Structure 1
Amino acid sequence: MNTLPFAKPSDRLSDGLVYRFRLRPLTLRAPGDPAPFDVGSEELVVDCVFSSPNGGGQEGTCTTPEGATVSFAVNDPEGGSGSGVRAFAGPRWDPFIMDAPAALKTIATGELAFTDPGSIFLDGKNVLSLVVELDAALLDGADLVGVVAETLTRGVFNVRIERVGRPEVKNLMLAPKQFDPVNRDLEIRDLYNLEDAFHLGGAYRGAYRARLNANLAFWDGLDGKTDWPANGNGDHPLTELVLGDFLAVDVTKPYAENGSFLEIELAARRGEAHETCGGRAPNDDVMDLIFTQLVNGGNGPVISDGVDQSSRPASRAFPYLSPPNPDPPEPPEHI
């Protein structure tokens, strides 16, 4: 989980938040179903909280699904471990791979604005990272699980502030309002963040669906042809998949440095068995896959944003993400 874009090396995690990982078992539906998974009601939760920074130091504590606690010092690369959980927290070099200004220009102009090469927006910026390893034995026999990360207020009542499953769903698929003839005046992002990723409420489900139908159709039309024709209800074929906004992970399948993102979901659409663990590997250039699926459904050339890897790729050793940039770029006045 990465939070606080443009973090300084001295920044610490909030003592007023709960940083939460939620996992639920998934069952594959019939091949080609627009919503590929049934989500189980059983839930495993890892909650992490942090002390108030004291003289630059900070302590973190994660509570495991079985109720045990794991403590660690923020910024200690060894982290803390116990009861099947290992955790690290602290500033890290932002590993995300995307030419964000080009993506936003594409939305603004209605024309693909990617160049070769592109550039990572303010490359070298830091984020506050929370890395949690979970022993598969804690999944209580579940092989295929959905994973979502959340931040919530800390106290008697926990209010969800933000959540993330797949990358850029909110920024590129939900946030643009100009293509939505139903809810053009509705600022939908904050409402969506409040929702339970595994069980959307009924109040705004229609609004989310209308926004996705409109925006996904926009992306599909950028190459001048329709690869994702709407169904009889006017729904884009990817809308239900996107509404289930969590990563799907199969712990029985091998890890893949590249190509595992959306592999489970797309294989299910084709009626084929998936071959990888799914999820999202830190060094995987997932945005090229997302843009390609949105624009041509994989029926045409790769739609690349012109950036293929981070300038500081993740490693294969805990805590995986690269140390923070000691002199990161200053954030812009407006993003």
Structure 2
Amino acid sequence: MSDHISGPRALANPIADITDFYVFPSPDRPGHLVLVMNTLPFAKVSNAFSDGLIYRFRLRPLTANPSGAQVPFSAGPEEGAEEFVFDCVFSPPNSAEAEPFEQEGTCTMPSGGTVSFRVNDDGGGSGEGVRVFAGARWDPFILDAPAALKTVATGRLAFTDPGAIYLDGKNVLGLVVEIDCSLLGGATLVGVVAETLTRGTFNVRIERVGRPEVKNLMLGPKQFDPVNQDLEIRDLYNMEDAFHIAHGYEGAYRARLNANLAFWDGIDGKTDWPANGNGHPLTELVLADYLVVDVTKPYQEQGSFLEIELSARQGRAHETCGGRALNDDVMDKFFTMLINAGNGPIIRDGVDGSSRPASRSFPYLSPPNPNPPEPPEHH
């Protein structure tokens, strides 16, 4: 599950659980960038957003690091880096008994201006170069999750063709913010992350998401880690600033990633990512955990996810917008990169598309399933 149920805190507070995060140039409004944060696994149409959370998107201009660097880009200094923040907050729903309930949202832009919108209004709200939608939506993430977990448990690829989307038809609470790229101060290459934080005078980061499956498939498994085999590391990782990991737990994250990335690389019986003396060659790239998007390139489905980062590592110019589109089959790219570094066949999970694909126009996410499958008793 992309970032669904990504740690004990997410399981205890599912309303703050970011299930997925997407960034892509608008397919029908050139010059606009679309940010999508989905929360609350197994949402019902009757679920409201939390009035106790800030739903935050952070965008930072990126600069290229020297050729051959493990992390291709810099997100600026730890203090005082340029950053564009879009914060969305929600009123309490008018009444728990009202059907349908009514709830208002407000998005605050980097300029301090605000846009108001009503939850579950397909038209959303707009103003000052920003358009916002929030509401229950069909979960767009595609993966045969039980087969992925079986692969980790057995050390053998467990995917079948065809596979099945886990509990297909489940819903999420979707938040879509479409921004005019002119709001980004001329930045063209940006790193983007989604966060949920406590709302009030003291803000605690509950969750943050950049790339899919970093927590569940790269940091989650404990059994391969020789250093911290009993440590549930994901809640610690969620509290970190995606653009600058603090120095307290860096060693633990690296040990876990070095071990788990080596596990994935070895599944096909050969090593495509030889350790370089400093651990796995992808560890630092994984820790730079934000989506990279080039706002000057057109919308593209399939082939753009990770293309900018991997091109930079190979010393060539990127060709796509990067980021991640709603209909991208990112997991095939993910497994192929980790297992054979693209030096072999595409590793498929047997699921190629959503049974209800996203649209090319606002609000992009498909309408919710009125009768979603019941979540399992134990995740």
TM-score range, shorter chain: over 0.9
Alpha-carbon distance in structure 2 between the residues aligned to 1:252 and 1:206: 37
1:109 to 151, 154, 178: 154
Quote the Cα distance in structure 1 between the aligned partners of 2:344 and 2:216: 24
Matched, 1:298 2:342: yes
CA RMSD of aligned residues (A): 0.7
Distance 1:134 1:245 in 2: 22
Contact 1:254 1:275 in 2 (8 A): no
- Equivalent residue of 2:302, what SS? coil
Q: Read off the aligned partner of 1:119 and give its amino acid letter.
A: A
Q: State the Cα distance separating 1:30 from its structure 2 match.
A: 2.3
The residue identity in structure 1 corresponding to 2:87 is D
Is 1:327 aligned to residue 352 of structure 2? no
In structure 2, what is the Cα distance between the partners aligned to 1:12 and 1:317? Answer: 24
Over the matched positions of the two proteins, sequence identity in percent amounts to 78
1:96 matched residue in structure 2:
141
Distance 1:49 1:125 in 2: 24
The 2-side partners of 1:7 and 1:260 are apart by: 29
Q: Distance in 1 between matches of 2:133 and 2:156?
A: 41
Name the aligned partner's letter for residue 198 of structure 1: F
3-state SS of 2:48 partner: coil
> TM-score if structure 1 supplies the norm length?
0.99
- Per-residue deviation, residues 185-211 of structure 1 (Å, max 9, x unmatched): 111000000000001000001110110
2:31 aligned residue: none
Aligned equivalent of 1:19 = 55
Query: Quick one: which amino acid aligns to residue 283 of structure 1?
Result: N
1:334 Cα offset (Å): 1.0
Q: Which runs of 4+ in 1 moved over 3 A?
A: none
Q: How does 1:105-144 map to 2 (within 5 A)?
A: 105-144=150-189
Name the structure 1 match of 2:3: none
TM-score scaled by length of structure 2: 0.87
Distance 1:14 1:137 in 2: 30
- Which runs of structure 2 are paired with 1:244-255 in the superposition (5 Å)? 244-255=288-299
- AA matched with 1:141: G
Alpha-carbon shift at residue 84 of structure 1 (Å): 1.4
Q: SS at 2:62's partner residue? A: strand
Quote the Cα distance in structure 2 between the aligned partners of 1:122 and 1:194. 29
C-alpha displacement of 1:252: 1.1
Q: Deviations over 1:237-273 (max 9, x none)?
A: 1000000000001111122111110010010111110
Question: Aligned pairs, how many?
Answer: 334
Deviations 1:63-114 (A, max 9, x none): 0110000000000011001111110000000000111111011011111100
Find out whether 1:156 has 2:192 as its counterpart: no
**Among 209, 218, 236, which residue is 1:173 paired with?**
218
1:31 deviates by 2.6
CA shift, 1:29, in A, is 1.4
Q: For residue 111 of structure 2, what is the amino acid of its counterpart? A: E
Letter of the aligned partner of 2:372 in structure 1?
A: P
Counterpart-to-counterpart distance in 2, 1:303 and 1:258: 15
Post-superposition offset of 1:32? 2.5
What's 1:53 paired with? 93
Residue type at the aligned position of 2:85: V
SS in 2 for 1:114: coil
Of residues 84, 88, 93, the one that matches 1:44 is 84
Query: 2:23 matched to which residue of 1?
Result: none
Match in the other structure for 1:270: 314
2:327 matched to which residue of 1? 283
Is the CA contact (8 Å cut-off) linking 1:152 and 1:160 kept in structure 2?
Answer: yes
Measure, in 1, the Cα distance between the counterparts of 2:194 and 2:307: 20
Gaps of 5+ in 2: 1-36
Deviations 1:147-202 (A, max 9, x none): 00000001110000001000010000001100000111111000000000001000
Whichever residue aligns with residue 315 of structure 2, its letter is: G
Matching residue of 2:304: 260
SS in 2 for 1:320: coil
Q: For residues 25-36 of structure 1, what are the structure 2 equivalents within 5 Å?
A: 25-36=61-72
| Residue of structure 2 in register with 1:318 after alignment | 362
